[in-house]
Structure 1
């Protein structure tokens, strides 16, 4: 068990070290507390949901592992989320999908409405958190030949258009009930495995479908839509209808948010470079923080170089107010609750480290062509005691410091999760 006096002593020393550079650690802690993460519910149940949990995953999605303790019911999933939230400092949001509706009778995706998410809203009020929404365009028989909204079959498009419309009603309901704007993120799996003859028509169909879904106006204080592109997916390696450029242009032309998923780009591309190129023109960003390993494999987020670059860009360019940060990964080879905790805390650590820098001084040096100072200071910052500041943040927010949270996970496994199998 961490000694709180040692944490406080280490923080005071770190505070003095950073003050020598003109960095206010107390201000950084306050700024970090204001950043809400949108934590994805599907890490807890391997993306089964409650509408058709036996349906095979489709849309290029797959989960590895069979660690015991998977959540099988709404109460088990919310119990696991509650445990995770108790170990993550700050106040956050939870992302849901259509397939997580809690219904009193069997419903299809296109029949699910706000009434089927009352369970989640009541729980969110109890937890004092917000909810975000994602319409589910996968794991359903109406995904025909890897097509949904861009399908050549009108009946298929009509089915998924209704799913999209219903999701907007649900997202608006979240915003009204919880007093926090709900981000409604649209991702579809449409595309071809091999080279198509016609690349234009599917995209025109997608534009038409999206425009129909978004025709109704909602108060953006309650809900706003975001559109998510992808480089490729399993089964659509040669052509993705909803490509990055497609959704970049759609978001700008329609006044929507653009979703950048860190796993959806080519491994040689730096996702952090996209933010400052889009935001001068776009309304805002939804960011899905994931960790690709050689491809879009959705590993649990860790504090690696890619995450550090992402958070540095958001902080240094003052883009946090325009960016909604969500998590998106799934790993069933480990305790599923631990995945949430590791990923969320890693994201917060990276944000804090980015905030603990003399940013204005470094910008001034850069403006004066003093690249020597820029390089020297940014390198020295890598060995500054930001870990002591992070520990203080955990202490102030009444969550376990260091690896102490693992004790909670092991106890929760014993008392709750392992009894499910």
Structure 2
């Protein structure tokens, strides 16, 4: 069956495929950078894995530097129709310098911005609260050590500055999405105090209003090594996003495998003006397999369209 035959059939059901395709062209898809190199990053410093993320960094053919990753991305974009963006993590700097996470500045990412401008991309950004010696015990913004909390607060502040400059340079607001790995391997004595520390750290980090960028917060059910308690749970961040008018990020891999993430869209949309989606394909846990057009994706797309949420997501 060719397109014209399909178009006629859909017309019988009251669906104008031309209008649908025009709508699709304007939906921004922000391709995440980290699958391109197996979550290694390009910092000129020694680092560790962590944060409950099980990536080896030795996948055959992974990009070894920013130039290779950009080439891979350009090939991917050439085969993906519609509006394009790139979702960049702070650990993917492009510089000969070796700043620590609390020392990063816009110029460490300037080549990414120049490249994005040349090929017509928007950029989104993420602080990297994992793969660092100050995150080895799986606590960052909720750490009981004030010095470590302050280190990560400064990192978050700097990513917000960088995101704002990216958005201004490209003429498109840059979403700065916050996910932290903070949690406990076994049942903690006091969950409340850890969540109070996380809230206070976020409040400090987000205290300065910024233009040309949007803040988002992201939950996770658990990670390897933090099975008993995740400080930044879905309920924590839903409340935080409502109170502080940030975006809420729903990652399809960050919930229990039996949960229907699509069902959450209309529920959270009642209290939030905008939602950020991480569309992934979890296999039994947050495995981040490359997505395929499965039932979960269909359900998410149906909710976005039927709920009138395309312009808010």
Instruction: State how far apart, in whole Å, the 2-side matches of 1:193 and 1:38 are.
Output: 32
What is the match of residue 257 of structure 1? Answer: 247
Q: 4+ runs of 1 displaced by more than 3 Å?
A: 64-68
In structure 1, the residue matched to 2:28 is: 36
Which one is further off, 266-275 or 130-139?
266-275
Structure 1, 123-132 or 85-94: larger mean CA deviation? 85-94
Distance in 1 between the 2:57 and 2:86 partners?
23
CA distance in 2, matches of 1:45, 1:236: 24
Based on CA coordinates, which of the two structures has the bigger radius of gyration?
1
Structure 2 counterpart SS, 1:100: coil
Partner of 2:196: 204
Question: Residue 168 of structure 2: which of 176, 188, 193 is its match?
Answer: 176
TM-score by length of 2: 0.97
**Do structure 1's residue 164 and structure 2's residue 156 form an aligned pair?**
yes
1:140 aligns with 2:121: no
What SS class does the counterpart of residue 83 from structure 2 fall into?
A: coil
Shift of 1:63: 2.4
* Aligned-pair CA distance for 1:113: 1.2
Q: Sort the Cα spacing of 1:152 and 1:226 in 2 relative to 1 into closer, same or farther, 3 A.
A: same
Greater displacement, 57-66 / 207-216:
57-66
Number of residue-to-residue matches in the alignment: 313
| Residue number in structure 2 paired with 1:231 | 221
2:308 and 2:83 map into 1 onto residues whose CA distance is 21
Which of 106, 110, 115 in structure 2 is aligned with 1:123?
A: 115
Distance in 2 separating the partners of 1:54 and 1:60: 19
Local SS of the residue matching 1:253: helix
Q: Deviations over 1:275-299 (max 9, x none)?
A: 1111121131110011111111111
2:5 corresponds in structure 1 to 13
Q: State the alpha-carbon separation in 1 of the partners of residues 292 and 158 from structure 2.
A: 35
**Cα displacement string for residues 45-83 of structure 1 (whole angstroms, at most 9, x for unaligned residues):** 111111147533210112268553221111111111111
From the superposition, tell whether residues 285 and 24 of structure 1 become closer, same or farther in structure 2 (CA, over 3 Å).
Answer: same
User: TM-score scaled to structure 1, two decimals?
Assistant: 0.73
Q: Which has the higher helix share?
A: 1
Q: Relative contact order (alpha carbons < 8 A, sep ≥ 6): 1 or 2 greater?
A: 1
Other-structure match for 2:272: 282
Q: How far apart, CA to CA, are the structure 2 residues paired with 1:65 and 1:246?
A: 31
